[in-house]
């Protein structure tokens, strides 16, 4: 039988697994999710929305990189079912906890989240029959809080407290999980986070680019995506560069460029940058950091929406602004790939609202 092929990057999906999925189940436009678990390839088997996680398109910027030396491609993680890259880790973390026997029917999950991991976990929890509590710092958009509540999660909002303060969202989540006898899914320390990016996101990027990659650019929240993708790419190429896109005001660029955390400042872009370093972030995988201020991040997100049809949020603006810089460097040889972590729908009341930007002065 001739194989059906879908162009989702510079290459078609060529793996046998993908072909089998596409041949047997013509209603599916993407191969099945890569998280461990039963693969369902027949239209008569159960297929759930969890099977649509991952295998996102990789597309080339058509306008914004026109004057750059190197091409810029973007990995469209905002097209996951929950609208962010975090669907991958939500599924992988729950799969791992189930395999380890740490979850029972009706168990409660607790996560400290900027919002996206919560949305991913809420979807997985709905399908698998768990309860979810999300602990979010006050800084994160109201849109994300509303989404989580609409998904049935309990949302606990904390002060924007520094990492050593007991009111910090990570500490509050840990305490709540202990009090309620719930599972702390713990994206900041859970190896299932970088591992799923190494096994899926990184391998997809390598295959979609057919190994032609000069540099990979991403921001760091937990560091799971840059660490996992960076490891997968560096295991396959000795020349690929991995670049951190860090908000001005985050301490992480200092760690990567100077070997010591930089000064702690404030910034408005959500989900990336940090005043501490998560256990899952491996700075050794990163070659250097580019720093991007809020105005450039938000302007770039707006340009991605209006000029490229990529309906993404502010941290995608940060990573593409950095990627455009990287693509102009003489010492980068080959296409630059940037990660688009989430969609614009969670920022309607923040940086996609001109009045909000004016009020904040960015």
Rule CB under 6 A: say whether 116 interacts with ligand PMP: yes
Min dist. Cβ of residue 5 to ligand PMP (A): 30
Rule CB under 6 A: say whether 222 interacts with ligand PMP: yes
Choices 46-54, 103-111, 152-160, 264-272 (CB under 6 A): range interacting with ligand PMP: 264-272
Q: Is the Cβ of residue 13 or residue 188 nearer to ligand PMP in the bound state?
A: 188
Rule CB under 6 A: say whether 137 interacts with ligand PMP: no
Query: Of the candidates 341, 343, 350, 351, which one interacts with ligand PMP according to CB under 6 A?
Result: 341
Rule CB under 6 A: say whether 274 interacts with ligand PMP: no
Rule CB under 6 A: say whether 224 interacts with ligand PMP: yes
Min dist. Cβ of residue 338 to ligand PMP (A): 12
Min dist. Cβ of residue 28 to ligand PMP (A): 26
Residues 202-221 that bind ligand PMP (CB under 6 A): 219-221
Min dist. Cβ of residue 194 to ligand PMP (A): 8
Min dist. Cβ of residue 10 to ligand PMP (A): 24
Please name the residues in contact with 172: beta carbons below 8 A apart, sequence gap of 6 or more: 112, 135, 156, 158, 166
* Paired residues of 109 in beta bridges: 132, 183
Q: Is the Cβ of residue 18 or residue 242 nearer to ligand PMP in the bound state?
A: 242
Rule CB under 6 A: say whether 315 interacts with ligand PMP: yes
Choices 7-15, 150-158, 265-273, 297-305 (CB under 6 A): range interacting with ligand PMP: 265-273
Which one from 75, 86, 144, 234 is the annotated catalytic residue? 86
Rule CB under 6 A: say whether 297 interacts with ligand PMP: no
3-state SS of the chain is CCCCCCECCCCECCCHHHHHHHHHCCCCCCCCCCCCCCCCCCCCCCCCHHHHCCCCCEEECCCCCCCCCCCEEEEEHHHCCCCECHHHHHHHHHHHHHHCCCCCCCCEEEEECCCHHHHHHHHHHHHHCCEEEEEEECCCCHHHHHHHHHCCCEEEEECCCCCCCCCCHHHHHHHHHHHHCCEECCCCCCCHHHHHHHHHHHHHHHHHCCCCCCEEEECCCCCHHHHHHHHHHHCCCCCCEEEEEEEECECHHHHHHHCCCCCCCCCCCCCCCCCCCCCCCCHHHCCEEEEECHHHHHHHHHHHHHHHCCCECHHHHHHHHHHHHHHCCCCCCCCEEEEECEEHHHHCCCCCCHHHHHHHCC
Give the residue nearest to ligand PMP (CB).
Answer: 271
Q: Is the Cβ of residue 71 or residue 345 nearer to ligand PMP in the bound state?
A: 345
Min dist. Cβ of residue 235 to ligand PMP (A): 18
Rule CB under 6 A: say whether 118 interacts with ligand PMP: no
Rule CB under 6 A: say whether 270 interacts with ligand PMP: yes
Q: Is 86 a catalytic site residue?
A: yes
Strand pairing report for 58-60 and 108-112: unpaired
Chain positions contacting ligand PMP, by CB under 6 A: 114, 116, 219-225, 270-272, 313, 315, 341-342
Active site residues: 86
């Amino acid at each position: 039988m001739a194989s059906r092929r879908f162009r989702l990057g510079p290459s078609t999906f060529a793996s046998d697994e993908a072909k089998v999925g596409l041949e047997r189940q013509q209603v599916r436009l993407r191969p099945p999710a890569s998280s461990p678990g039963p693969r369902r390839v027949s239209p008569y088997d159960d297929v759930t929305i969890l099977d649509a996680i991952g295998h996102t398109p990789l597309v080339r910027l058509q306008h914004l990189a026109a004057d750059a030396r190197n091409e810029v491609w973007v990995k469209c993680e905002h097209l996951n079912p929950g609208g962010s890259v975090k669907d991958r880790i939500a599924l992988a973390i729950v799969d791992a906890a189930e395999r380890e026997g740490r979850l029972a029917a009706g168990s409660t999950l607790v996560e400290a989240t900027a919002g996206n991991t919560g949305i991913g976990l809420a979807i997985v929890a709905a399908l698998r029959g768990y309860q979810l509590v999300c602990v979010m710092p006050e800084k994160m958009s109201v849109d994300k809080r509303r989404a989580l509540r609409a998904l049935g999660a309990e949302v606990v909002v904390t002060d924007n407290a520094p990492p050593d303060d007991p009111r910090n969202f990570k500490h509050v989540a840990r305490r709540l999980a202990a009090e309620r006898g719930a599972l702390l899914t713990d994206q900041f320390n859970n190896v299932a986070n970088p591992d799923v990016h190494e096994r899926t996101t990184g391998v997809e990027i390598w295959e979609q680019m057919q190994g032609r990659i000069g540099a990979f650019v991403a921001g760091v929240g937990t560091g799971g995506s840059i660490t996992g993708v960076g490891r997968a790419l560096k295991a396959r190429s000795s020349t690929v560069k991995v670049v951190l896109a860090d908000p001005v005001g985050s301490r992480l660029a200092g760690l990567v460029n100077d070997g010591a955390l930089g000064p702690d400042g404030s910034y408005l872009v959500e989900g990336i940058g940090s005043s501490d370093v998560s256990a899952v972030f491996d700075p050794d995988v990163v070659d250097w950091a580019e720093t991007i201020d809020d105005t450039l991040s938000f302007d770039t997100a707006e340009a991605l929406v209006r000029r490229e049809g990529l309906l993404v949020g502010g941290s995608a603006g940060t990573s593409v602004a950095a990627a455009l810089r990287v693509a102009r460097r003489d010492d980068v040889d080959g296409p630059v790939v940037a990660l688009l972590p989430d969609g614009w729908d969670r920022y309607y009341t923040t940086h996609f609202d001109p009045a909000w930007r004016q009020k904040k002065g960015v």
